[in-house]
Amino acid sequence: MSIASKYDPAATEAKWYAYWMEHKLFSSKVDPNKEPYVITMPPPNVTGVLHMGHMLNNTIQDVLIRRARMQGKNALWVPGTDHASIATETKVVNLLKEQGIDKKSLTREKFLEHAWEWKEKYGGIILDQLKKLGASCDWDRTAFTMDAGLSDAVISVFVDLHKKGKIYRGIRMVNWDPKGKTALSDDEVITKEIASKLYYVKYQIEGSENDYLTIATTRPETIMADSAICINPNDPRFIHLKGKKAIVPLINKAIPIIEDEYVDMEFGTGCLKVTPAHDINDYELGLKHKLEVIDILNDDGTLNEKAQILIGEDRFVARKMIAKKLKEVDQLEKIEDYKSNVGHSERTDAVIEPKLSLQWFLKMDEITKPAQKAVMEDIIQLYPPKFKNMYRAWMDNVRDWCISRQLWWGHRIPAYHLPNGEFVVAKTAEEALQLANEQFDGTFTLADLKQDEDVLDTWFSSWLWPISVFDSEVFTTGKPNEELKYYYPTNDLVTAPEILFFWVARMIIAGYEYMGEKPFKNVYLTGIVRDKLGRKMSKSLGNSPDPLDLIAQNGADGVRTGMLFSSPAGNDLPYDDKLVEQGRNFANKIWNAFRLVKGWEIDQNLDGSANASSIAWFESRFNQALIEINEHYEKFRISDALMTTYKLVWGDFCSWYLEMIKPEYQHPIDQETYDKTIALFEDILKILHPFMPFISEELWQQIKERSVEESLILASWPTEKGFDSKIIEEAN
- The predicted pLDDT at position 394 comes to 92
User: Using CA atoms, how far apart are residues 222 and 322, in angstroms rounded to an integer?
Assistant: 9
Confidence band of 1 (pLDDT split at 50, 70, 90):
low
- The predicted pLDDT at position 566 comes to 76
C-alpha closest to that of 467 among 427, 423, 505, 508: 508
351-386 pLDDT tens trace: 999 998 899 999 999 999 999 999 999 999 999 999
pLDDT higher at 185 or 680: 680
- The predicted pLDDT at position 732 comes to 61
* Antiparallel, parallel or unpaired: β 520-525 and 381-383: parallel
Helices (H), 444-570: 458-462, 465-468, 474-477, 482-487, 506-514, 547-554, 556-564
- The predicted pLDDT at position 570 comes to 66
- The predicted pLDDT at position 540 comes to 63
66-87 pLDDT tens trace: 999 999 999 999 999 999 988 8
628-683 pLDDT tens trace: 999 999 999 999 999 999 999 999 999 999 999 998 888 999 999 999 999 999 99
Confidence band of 228 (pLDDT split at 50, 70, 90):
very high
Query: Minimum mean pLDDT among 150-154, 325-329, 587-591, 665-669: which range?
Result: 665-669
Q: Is 361:171 a contact under the CB 8 Å cutoff?
A: no
Q: Which residues, 6 or more positions from 121, have their beta carbon under 8 angstroms from its beta carbon?
A: none
Helix-helix angle 52-70:547-554, to 10 degrees = 60
Overall average pLDDT of the 241-255 stretch: 95
Q: Which residues, 6 or more positions from 431, have their beta carbon under 8 angstroms from its beta carbon?
A: none
- The predicted pLDDT at position 615 comes to 92
| DSSP assigned state of 472 | T
Q: Find the length of the chain.
A: 732
Query: Minimum mean pLDDT among 308-312, 349-353, 569-573, 619-623: which range?
Result: 569-573
Residue 140, classified by CB atoms within 10 Å of its CB into exposed (0-12), middle (13-18) or buried (19+), is exposed
Confidence band of 406 (pLDDT split at 50, 70, 90):
very high
User: Using CA atoms, how far apart are residues 727 and 220, in angstroms rounded to an integer?
Assistant: 78
- The predicted pLDDT at position 302 comes to 96
Which 3 state secondary structure label does DSSP give 567?
A: coil
Confidence band of 347 (pLDDT split at 50, 70, 90):
confident
- The predicted pLDDT at position 539 comes to 63
C-alpha closest to that of 231 among 243, 218, 248, 247: 243
Q: How many CB atoms lie within 10 A of CB 539?
A: 10
C-alpha closest to that of 36 among 3, 69, 81: 69
Could you give all domains of the chain from N- to C-terminal order, each with its CATH number?
164-172+354-367+386-455 (no CATH), 186-345 (3.90.740.10), 575-731 (1.10.730.10)
Residue 377, classified by CB atoms within 10 Å of its CB into exposed (0-12), middle (13-18) or buried (19+), is exposed
Q: Is 566:541 a contact under the CB 8 Å cutoff?
A: no
- The predicted pLDDT at position 67 comes to 98
Strand partners, 355: 174
* Antiparallel, parallel or unpaired: β 143-144 and 80-81: parallel
User: Using CA atoms, how far apart are residues 291 and 276, in angstroms rounded to an integer?
Assistant: 8
